[in-house]
Amino acid sequence: MRNILLASAALISCGMAFPASTRSVDEVRAAAGQDASGTHAGAEVPGHGLRGPAARRAGVEASATGMAARYADEDAGGRLAAQLRKGLSEGAYDRYVEAGEFAAALTAEMRNTVQDKHLRAMYQPNRPAGPAQGGEVRAGRGDGAPAAVATVDPRSAAQLARTNYGFDRVELLPGNIGYLKLSQFVPLARSEETATAAMAFLANSEGVIIDLRGVPGGSPDLVARLVSYFTGPEPVTLMTTYMRAADLSEELRTTAEVPGRRMTDRPLMVLIDERTASSAEMFAYFVQRQGLGTLIGATTSGAGLGGNVVPAGSGIYVFVPQIRITDGPGWERTGIVPDVAAEPEEALEVAHAMLLDRLAEADSDPQARRERQWALELIRPMTGSDAALPPLSTFEGAYGARNFVVRDGALVEVAAGGTRIPLTRVGPDVFRSRTVRLTFEQDGRGDAAAVLRETIDGTSARIVRSEGPAPG
């Protein structure tokens, strides 16, 4: 057994359910993220490239041979190969003259044969072909499968750089909670510098949220690197896998060293949804199995077999799932069930609130506890219907050097220099900015008479409302 990082499973089809009933080419094309021509979204296509029966026959044979020799499950690989060849012999593909349409037909055939969300044929004529590199699957044993594999991710270095190597956002949320949003696990050969900078940004936070909602997958070497920040220096075996084509078992392990500081003492929340797939599911799987944090959201896609693409001619590439987990249940077809179920669009708010509650309970510093409680006010919705609340116009007016006006359905504080600060209503008479709480007092007639202005550092002042309307 070799203790090395596993192969990349980037740019996979994920996040869509494939029932046992037969699916049409158009349905599968939509599920696979292909456009009307059957081309994978984002590919640059100068022409359609398919030339006659010989090209179709070569494409089917390359696909069938790859499935028979490489697919993770030998029986399923044989069924896929047989069905593809049967379709060819029966003329099922004869009507396809465009490569994109032909690729979509192959995808439909494969997914109607085996319910595997990784199975996909793609028309990507500009994909760089050649021997595997940088953490991708290596060629097999010379057993008849196509010897060459293409780079999994067809994007150029410049294109990857424009995505910031999959690191969409890193920021500090109220209450000193670090937040990282990923869009892809780009191989470390490209993403290491950006990954290191992102994790360094998070290092001073007291709780961490990693957002994997909608992430289709990527490279396991980046998965292992990021997980390593939440484990100790002693390497941990995260999973053991088997690649049938190479008769090879491998372990994916955490690393003894990481650039920067580990965050083993920080509570970790991971956001997932039904579009979280493949290597993104792998990250969530490790967090859950190793007890490193809490998964929040919805059950993931269930795309659990790793693999790579093989060329099928005419600019068509077929993703062959080749790697299965042997030391645990994995997540193929079942997905990963969250520890805390939440609507995906609300998962961030739920995670943020859970972290703030947990930290506030443990805080011995009154100021730190105050900061958590104030942060909670901003993310928890106010109870009560609008009809039962005093209208916002009740609070308009001049209060010392500050004015309050209603703009676009919100109360806005206008400071002496003219700066406008939109306020969030957190109670019937209570409004918040990030660092200030404003509690309005009403007289016997229900008119605002004064405001208590409190700052997050503990200072406060009561300001009486001036006569007359607020200017501007």
Note down pLDDT in tens along the chain; length 472 residues: 444 333 333 333 332 222 233 444 444 444 444 443 344 433 433 346 677 899 999 999 999 999 999 999 999 999 999 999 999 999 999 999 899 999 999 999 999 999 998 999 999 988 765 443 333 333 333 333 333 444 556 788 899 999 999 999 999 999 999 999 999 999 999 999 999 999 999 999 999 999 999 999 999 999 999 999 999 999 999 999 999 999 999 999 999 999 999 999 999 999 999 999 999 999 999 999 999 999 999 999 999 999 989 999 999 999 999 999 999 999 999 999 999 999 999 999 999 999 999 999 888 888 888 899 999 998 876 765 666 789 999 999 999 989 999 999 999 999 888 899 999 999 999 999 989 999 999 998 888 999 999 999 889 999 999 865 555 5
Q: In one letter, which amino acid is 64?
A: A
Q: In one letter, which amino acid is 84?
A: L
| Alpha-carbon dihedral 279, 116, 246, 217, rounded to 10 degrees | -10
CA distance linking residue 353 with residue 198, whole number of Å: 22
For residue 76, what are the CA distances in angstroms to 27, 115, 138, 396?
A: 22, 10, 21, 70
Phi (first) and psi of residue 318, to 5 degrees: -115, 125
The CB-side HSE value for 214 (13 A sphere, CA atoms) comes to: 9
CA distance linking residue 109 with residue 92, whole number of Å: 10
- Estimate the crossing angle of helix 188-202 against helix 220-228, to 10 degrees: 20
Tell me what pLDDT residue 148 has: 41
| First-residue to last-residue Cα distance in the chain | 73
Tell me what pLDDT residue 285 has: 98
Tell me what pLDDT residue 14 has: 33
Rg (CA), the chain: 28
Tell me what pLDDT residue 328 has: 94
- Reference 370, options 212, 146, 174; nearest CA is 174
Tell me what pLDDT residue 323 has: 94
Tell me what pLDDT residue 379 has: 86
Phi (first) and psi of residue 4, to 5 degrees: -130, 165
Cross-strand partners of 207: 177
Please give the structure tokens belonging to residue 56.
């179709």
- In sequence order, what are the residues at sequence separation of 6 or more whose Cβ sits closer than 8 angstroms to the Cβ of residue 18? 31, 111, 115, 117
- In sequence order, what are the residues at sequence separation of 6 or more whose Cβ sits closer than 8 angstroms to the Cβ of residue 397? 403, 404, 448, 465, 466, 468, 469, 470
Largest CA distance in the chain: 89
